[in-house]
């Protein structure tokens, strides 16, 4: 007796078997039979010829045969490819994660101090409430709106701790899907690569509004306003609170006022993604100005927050969703529904990052130290931005104006390199970056600026 493992597809190319059914096929009377066992997904082939040879072939067919291979993530997949490269001069400018001048990950001193405090206090690991750590929710809303903001005083903000920026956006998307069925979310073109996935998975329809103008390498403000105006009344408008990702181009304060005008006129709801508070200008208050402007107008808004970048808490998954409502009563109801959505998704959020934020933001001396460290990080990024510009201007003899790099703010630079050119950056120069032409300056050192400028000039002029 012999047994063989064959794939279902090769054993039975024309038969499509449903995992719900048992299948029995007689191939030729008295010579062979085929059976499929639904519990085990095994295909048995019994053959008999002239009553002497008997063979059983066991075929293990996976229930996951219909699951296709997913493509790598456009941002986090870049880090995976970088890790796999053994080349010495490789440079990871893909993900927006801060590195030191030595290109090492950085744990902020205030984070270490906050963690020491937690150990000293011997804090336990009991479940948090569904809405998260109360001390965190308090300080995170205060950091965003300012402690004296009427929206806080009047208890009009529903704040729920989320799984960092992404999880907070996802929770809000679930709220939109449940309470505003059919409402569209307007997303800037381009935007952070994960926004569309988040709304797709939450089954919230979305469309794009114009944002970036490649001709001016600036904001297409007229296009943006026109598209927001043209959207169906009562749409959600996703806005990057500061340091727009990937372009690094933000509206001016006057432009923010006009955006707020149009959103109010059209009865839309602004939905801010604030992933870089403090990282754009180095000032926590300055970077919250857009959100505060909308709140001061008495508008109802949603704001997702992240502490991945400004406190370097990437892997702690700490952030929040804030929904500003027109009454305390509405805020209480919204909060109850956010909790109801969170419970079956992840039950309750993790405690470690929440305690770090509560300790740092809630303690005046640690808070000041944090601000100094954040200025240091933002300052290092500004220095490499300047140095990259200097090298590009010196090395590129074509007369191309690279000054747009200096005008962009935040962690990234949107280089204008196309897909083929970015492939040259990676394949020839081992510079890992996203295919939209974005580079993370937070992953660049002063020492590597010249090398990067050479790579960019070569890719820009020698590859079309
Ligand atoms: N919003 C924006 C605009 C954003 O750039 C990120 C992360 C997030 C939200 C979510 O971050 P979280 O760690 O969930 O709080 N952006 C970087 C990392 C990533 O893609 O996940 C990036 O663009 O490289």
Query: Which of 283, 453, 455, 308 has the alpha carbon at shortest distance from 385?
Result: 453
Residue 310 near residue 143, CB atoms below 8 Å: no
Q: Are 140 and 305 in contact (CB under 8 A)?
A: yes
How far is it, in rounded angstroms, from Cα 83 to Cα 154? 49
Tens digits of per-residue pLDDT, 409-418?
999 999 999 9
Ligand 1 mean position to 426 CA, how many Å? 22
Residue 39 within a domain: no
- Which atom of ligand 1 lies closest to the CA of 307? 15
By CB atoms closer than 10 A (0-12, 13-18, 19+), residue 17 is middle
Of 306, 328, 362, at which residue does a domain stop? 362
Place of tokens 């909790």: 339
Nearest CA to ligand 1 atom 17: 96
**Does 242 map to a domain?**
yes
Same domain? For 293 and 391 the reply is: no
Q: Which of 335, 362, 389 is the last residue of a domain?
A: 362
User: Ligand 1, closest atom to CA 314?
Assistant: 13
pLDDT score recorded for residue 15: 41
In terms of Cα–Cα distance, which of 453, 425, 446, 464 is closest to 92?
A: 425
268 and 389 belong to one structural domain: no
- What DSSP state is assigned to residue 88? T
Relative to the CA of 166, which ligand 1 atom is closest?
14
C-beta separation of 225 from 204 below 8 A: no
Q: Hey, which residues are catalytic here?
A: 192, 273, 309
Strands across the sheet with 157-163, in order? 157-163, 318-324, 301-306, 269-274, 236-240, 185-189, 206-210
Residues 316 and 196 in one domain: yes
Would you tell me how many other CB atoms lie within 10 Å of the CB of residue 39?
7
- Neighbouring C-alpha atoms within 13 Å toward the C-beta of 436: 19
- For the CA of 191, the closest atom of ligand 1 is 3
Angle between helices 289-296 and 134-145 (to 10 degrees): 90
Q: Is residue 171 part of a domain?
A: yes
State the pLDDT at residue 46.
57
Domain boundary among 362, 386, 406: 362
Residue with CA at minimum distance from ligand 1 atom 1 = 275
Q: Which domain holds residue 98?
A: 74-106+368-462
Instruction: Kindly report the number of other CB atoms within 10 A of residue 362's CB atom.
Output: 16
- Give the integer Cα–Cα distance in Å for 90 and 431: 6
CATH of the domain at 242: 3.40.640.10
CATH code at position 82: 3.90.1150.10
C-alpha to C-alpha distance for 274 and 238, rounded to whole angstroms: 11
CA of 166 to the centre of ligand 1 (A): 7
Least Cα distance to 434 among 103, 224, 194 occurs for: 194
C-beta neighbour count of 462 within 10 angstroms: 10
- Cα(240) to centroid of ligand 1, in Å? 11
Whose tokens are 């047994």? That residue is: 3
251, 260 Cβ separation under 8 angstroms: no
pLDDT of residue 433: 96
Is residue 185 located within the same domain as residue 231? yes
Decide if 157 is inside a domain: yes
Low-confidence ranges of the chain (pLDDT < 70): 1-59
pLDDT of residue 55: 59
Residue 32 lies in a domain: no
Q: Is the alpha carbon torsion for 418, 96, 270, 258 positive or negative?
A: negative
354 lies in the same domain as 379: no
Instruction: Tell me the whole-structure pTM to 2 decimals.
Output: 0.88
Distance 357 CA to ligand 1 centre (A): 18
Q: How far is CA 68 from the centre of its chain?
A: 23
Indicate the number of domains in the chain.
Answer: 2
Do 152 and 280 fall within a single domain?
yes
Ligand 1 interacting residues, C-beta cut-off 6 A:
75, 95-96, 164-166, 192, 194, 240, 245, 273, 275, 306, 308, 314, 319
314 Cβ neighbours under 8 A, 6+ residues apart: 97, 308
**Calpha distance 440→93 (Å, rounded):** 5
Distances (CA, A) of 218 to 207, 252, 289, 404, 414: 21, 12, 20, 8, 11
374 and 349 belong to one structural domain: no
Residues 320 and 372 in one domain: no
Question: Do 332 and 212 share a structural domain?
Answer: yes
Asked whether the bond before 190 is cis by omega within 30 degrees of 0, the reply is yes
**Is residue 62 in some structural domain?**
no
Residue 41 resides in a domain:
no
Residue with tokens 């970056």: 433
Of 164, 192, 353, 439, which is best to mutate to test ligand 1, by the most ligand atoms within 8 angstroms of its C-beta?
Answer: 192
- Whether 186 and 97 share a structural domain: no
Among the listed residues 356, 85, 91, 74, the one whose alpha carbon sits nearest the alpha carbon of residue 194 = 74
How does DSSP classify residue 25? E
| Nearest residue by C-alpha to atom 22 in ligand 1 | 96
Probe residue for ligand 1, chosen from 73, 77, 96, 140 as the CB with the greatest number of ligand atoms within 8 Å? 96
Please check whether residue 144 is in contact with residue 319, taking contact to mean a CB–CB distance below 8 angstroms.
no
Q: Which residue's CA is minimally distant from atom 6 of ligand 1? A: 275
Distance CA 438, CA 368 (A): 32
Collapsing DSSP states into helix, strand and coil, what is residue 134?
helix
Q: Are residues 380 and 354 in the same domain?
A: no
Residue 20: per-residue pLDDT: 44
- H or E element that contains 323: strand 318-324
Inside any domain, residue 112: no
Are residues 314 and 182 part of one domain? yes
């Amino acid at each position: 007796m012999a047994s063989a493992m064959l794939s279902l597809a090769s054993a039975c190319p024309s038969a499509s078997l449903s995992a719900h059914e048992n299948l029995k096929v007689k191939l030729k009377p008295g010579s062979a039979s085929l059976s499929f066992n639904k519990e085990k997904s095994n295909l048995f082939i019994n053959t008999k010829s002239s009553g002497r040879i008997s063979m059983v072939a066991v075929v293990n067919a996976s229930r996951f045969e219909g699951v296709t291979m997913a493509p790598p993530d456009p941002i986090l997949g870049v880090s995976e490819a970088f890790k796999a490269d053994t080349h010495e001069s490789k440079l990871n400018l893909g993900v927006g994660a801060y590195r030191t001048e030595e290109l090492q990950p950085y744990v902020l001193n205030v984070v270490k101090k906050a963690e020491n405090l937690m150990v000293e206090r011997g804090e336990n690991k009991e479940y948090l409430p569904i809405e998260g750590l109360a001390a965190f929710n308090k300080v995170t809303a205060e950091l965003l709106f300012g402690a004296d903001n009427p929206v806080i005083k009047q208890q009009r903000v529903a704040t729920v701790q989320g799984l960092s920026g992404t999880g907070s956006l996802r929770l809000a998307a679930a709220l939109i899907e449940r309470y505003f069925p059919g409402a569209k979310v307007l997303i800037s073109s381009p935007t952070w690569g994960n926004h569309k996935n988040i709304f797709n998975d939450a089954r919230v329809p979305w469309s794009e509004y114009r944002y970036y103008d490649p001709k001016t390498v600036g904001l297409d403000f007229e296009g943006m306003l026109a598209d927001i105006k043209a959207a169906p009344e009562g749409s959600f408008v996703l806005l990057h609170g500061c340091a727009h990702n990937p372009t690094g181009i933000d509206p001016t304060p006057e432009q923010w006022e006009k955006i707020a005008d149009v959103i109010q006129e059209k009865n839309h709801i602004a939905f801010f993604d604030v992933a870089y508070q403090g990282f754009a200008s180095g000032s926590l208050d300055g970077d919250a100005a857009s959100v505060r402007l909308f709140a001061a107008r008495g508008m109802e808004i949603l704001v997702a927050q992240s502490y991945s970048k400004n406190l370097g808490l990437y892997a702690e998954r700490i952030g929040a969703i804030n929904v500003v409502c027109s009454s305390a009563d509405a805020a209480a109801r919204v909060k109850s529904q956010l909790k109801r959505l969170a419970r079956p998704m992840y039950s309750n959020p993790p405690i470690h990052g929440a305690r770090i934020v509560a300790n740092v933001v809630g303690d005046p001396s640690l808070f000041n130290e944090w601000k100094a460290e954040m200025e240091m990080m933002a300052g290092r990024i500004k220095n490499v931005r300047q140095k990259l510009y200097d090298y590009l201007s010196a090395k590129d003899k074509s007369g191309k104006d690279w000054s747009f790099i200096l005008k962009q703010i935040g962690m990234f630079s949107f280089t204008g390199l196309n897909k083929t050119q970015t492939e040259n950056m990676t394949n020839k120069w081992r510079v890992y970056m996203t295919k939209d032409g974005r580079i993370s300056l937070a992953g660049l050192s002063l020492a590597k600026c010249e090398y990067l400028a050479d790579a960019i000039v070569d890719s820009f002029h020698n590859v079309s």
